[in-house]
Structure 1
Amino acid sequence: MRSSTVSIRSSIAPGAQHPPSAENLAGLNQKKKEAEAVDALQRASALFLQRLEGLGDDCEAMADAGAVLGEVLAQWPQMFRILNLFLAARGGLATYAEGAGMETDGDPSPLPPGERLVRVPIDELQQAEQK
């Protein structure tokens, strides 16, 4: 049986520590700088992600606002029809039934396709925006 030579080596012997060489210190410093750069990159990436998510939220809010605006703009023809009916009835130019397209029995005719009044759900939009 042969005895182990590991305990003879000075680099492994207990209590024997050599001062780190300049090359090892330079390599260690370089690795520290790389680790700090990676941390800074991760922080910058997280901030960039937050900004992009904020832009995404803003775009969603603008899309919702555009949909509501489209619904409101679609109501303008109905509003002008109602105003014309009011002015006609007020001025005596036409009767309400004639201007509104009502039948003689008093039932209003259905609205043309695409013309309807819209309620804008402001409270619901604000609650969704806060979430």
Structure 2
Amino acid sequence: MFKLMLVEDEPIIREGLKYYFDWENLHFTKIIEAENGQEGIELALKERPDLIITDIRMPVMNGLDMIEQLRSQLPHSLFVILTGYSDFEYAKRAIKLGGITEYLLKPLQYDISLASIEKCSSLLLEQ
């Protein structure tokens, strides 16, 4: 029903996220992957995912710059930041960008992250 895009430069994390949840049960039937923000922009504009989960610090283009460029072009897409950095400056910039549904820290805590994805799924179902 929904498309999910994972934007993460670490292949093992990206691969693990694909199997971390029962995505189909959460209404996500297609998973698209990108290694950095620039690739994320290209794929997102082509595939138009409903939910984009992105890391912040990546080579080529970071996740916040990617969100900033995509926000106006994908107004109905939800964005979740997944990062290993609890740097307050990142959080402040994410808030200023707007449209960030969740801000999750690595390593993920299953119950907290599942609740976040369930929230996103519910928001998409309401659209």
The answer to which structure, 1 or 2, has the higher relative contact order (CA under 8 A, 6+ apart) is 2
TM-score (norm 1): 0.17
TM-score (norm 2): 0.17
Structure with more helix by fraction: 1
Structure with more strand by fraction: 2
